[in-house]
Amino acid sequence: MSEKEIKIIVIGGGPGGYVAAIEAAQLGANVTLVEKDALGGTCVNRGCIPTKALIQTANLLHEMGRAGEYGIVVKEYALDFIKASERKEKIVRQLRDGVSYLMRKNKITVIKGTASMTDTGRVLVTGDHEMELSGDKIIIASGSEPGSIPVDGIDGKDVMNSDDVLSLESLPQNVVILGGGVIGLEFAQMLKRMNVEVSVIEMMPRILPTEDHEIARTLERALKKEGLNIYTNSRVTCIRTAPSGAKEVLFSSNGTDMEVEGEKVLVSVGRHPCTEGLGLEQAGIALEKGRITVNDRMETNIKNIYAIGDVVGGVMLAHKAMAEGRCAAKNAMGIEKRMDYKAIPRCIWTSPEAAAVGLTEQEARERYGDVKVSSFPFTANGKAKILGETQGFVKIISESHYGEILGVHLIGPHATEMISESVLGMQMEACSHCFNETIHPHPTLSEALLEASLGLEGKAIHI
């Protein structure tokens, strides 16, 4: 069988699935993609894109309040949440249409329906019309869904998940958010900047428990300064409706029983892989803790069946799913490719933004023992002063003997854009000398990365 005759079925049209489909089609496969909802998946329709669109509105509203610092007199302004939501939906629609165009351009057959494997090479699609597809290879990219917690009242009225927030037609006066991870904090600050009172309850001793502790501490200070109420080391015991109709969240914080009230409660406690109804048992595909297990070629325990993205667990990021999709498609087409997770960036679209790649300082010390750590504050960066955004720093961790970069952590203006230089450096196994000898333009925020790298050798210039 020639490569052009290989039939590949992709289950799921999110960022992992549609990228896998395009990669396989470009390599000569006959590709059919099955999607039960809308192309683009959670990312385009209910995640990355709509949330960042609303965050942009919230941030611009916040900046309007600071206009006087820049010599601009603004006498009157107000949020029109309906128009902000319409703008969000327009962006989502444009990007979703863009994915549809890419499917047509790459001659990928798209079928709307729910896919379930009947054996290792056949997929039953149910929906408006029932059909059975046969393929030589299958790539599962079924994604994830919002998680929950076993608490009384969690399924009650006015208790939302992240999908529900994006469908709000008006803003509540106050909200209680369960979960101080990335999603919870992005929604928390967005709502606060839209004049909603926000309380965040996090079970772990600090917000962002998987990120570098200095990043988490700096962001918590910034959020509290804006007026967010943050309770850490707290366990929710019950959600109930008060006589006023508001929701009361009862929780224990550092051993003290407390309660906080809100019109709405947002449950943001992570996401779970979508595996139900896929026919995994019929195909003999192995699961571990609710996720599909794969090797570094993204192949399941069943030959010629691959799985990618949130359904395989790990960090649930769109760009990670895209990389896994390309990897799976290559292997499905006979091109040897293995996933390398060393340099996957992690981004948080709060203000200040935060971004990281590689190991935290604690992880680096546990793994390597003696490491070098250097930080450079944005208060000493000219471009940050020009922007009026000097909160935060760049932190670099390197191995002591050869100077290989082990981790880079940023919190400050445009951190999510700045991290890419460090991602490339780590992918190329760069040492601090490589960064030190790279000329960075002036005045830019990226100079802070250079200065932090120079600091590993005790040679920072501007501090």
What does DSSP assign to residue 240? E
CB contact at 8 A, 453 and 430: no
In whole angstroms, what is the distance from residue 424 CA to residue 343 CA? 8
Residue 2 has pLDDT above 60, yes or no: no
In whole angstroms, what is the distance from residue 1 CA to residue 8 CA? 13
Residue 99 has pLDDT above 50, yes or no: yes
Please report the sign of the dihedral spanned by the C-alpha atoms of residue 381, residue 387, residue 388, residue 393. negative
- Laid out side by side, the sheet with 137-140 consists of 109-112, 30-35, 7-11, 137-140, 305-307
CB contact at 8 A, 242 and 262: no
| Alpha carbon separation from 313 to 278, 363, 425 (Å, rounded) | 16, 20, 26
The answer, yes or no, to whether the previous bond of 443 is cis (omega within 30 of 0) is: yes
The SS3 assignment for 372 reads: strand
Residue type, 367: R
Q: Band of the pLDDT at 1, cuts 50, 70, 90? A: very low
- State the pLDDT at residue 3: 44
What mean pLDDT, rounded, does the chain reach? 96
Alpha-carbon Rg for the chain, nearest whole angstrom, is 24
Which tens digits make up the pLDDT trace of 39-66? 999 999 999 999 999 999 999 999 999 9
What does the block give as tokens for 122?
A: 């056949």
Residue 91 has pLDDT above 70, yes or no: yes
What does DSSP assign to residue 152? B
What does the block give as tokens for 331?
A: 């292997």
Q: Band of the pLDDT at 5, cuts 50, 70, 90? A: confident
Residue type, 386: I
Kindly tell me the burial class for residue 226, based on how many C-beta atoms sit within 10 Å of its own C-beta (0-12, 13-18, 19 or more). Answer: middle
Query: Beta 229-231 vs 234-241: how paired, if at all?
Result: unpaired
Of 34, 247, 58, the closest CA to residue 154 belongs to 247
What does the block give as tokens for 232?
A: 């850490």
CATH number of 159-269: 3.50.50.60
What does DSSP assign to residue 312? G
| Residue 442 designated active-site | yes
Residue 37 has pLDDT above 80, yes or no: yes
- Point out the catalytic residue in the list 129, 272, 414, 442: 442
Of 264, 248, 92, 247, the closest CA to residue 169 belongs to 264
3-146+272-332 and 159-269: identical CATH topology: yes
Which tens digits make up the pLDDT trace of 393-439? 999 999 998 899 999 999 999 999 999 999 999 999 999 999 999 99
Which tens digits make up the pLDDT trace of 249-279? 999 998 899 999 999 999 999 999 999 999 9
What does DSSP assign to residue 174? E
- State the pLDDT at residue 309: 97
- State the pLDDT at residue 128: 81
Q: Band of the pLDDT at 355, cuts 50, 70, 90? A: very high
Domain layout of the chain by residue ranges: 3-146+272-332, 159-269, 346-455
Give, for 111, the enclosing helix (H) or strand (E). strand 109-112
Report, as an integer, the average pLDDT of 67-94: 97
- State the pLDDT at residue 401: 87
CB contact at 8 A, 46 and 161: no
Fold adopted by 346-455: Enolase-like; domain 1 (3.30.390)
Report, as an integer, the average pLDDT of 440-449: 98
Q: Report the residue count for the chain.
A: 463
Q: Angle between the 48-64 and 81-105 helix axes, to the nearest 10 degrees?
A: 140
Counting residues of the chain whose pLDDT is more than 70, the rounded percentage is 99
- State the pLDDT at residue 137: 97
DSSP 394-408: EEEEEETTT-BEEEE
The CATH architecture annotation of domain 3-146+272-332 reads 3-Layer(bba) Sandwich (3.50)
Report, as an integer, the average pLDDT of 165-179: 96
Which tens digits make up the pLDDT trace of 283-328? 999 999 999 999 999 999 999 999 999 999 999 999 999 999 999 9
Residue type, 128: D
Backbone angles phi, psi at 190, to 5 degrees: -60, -50
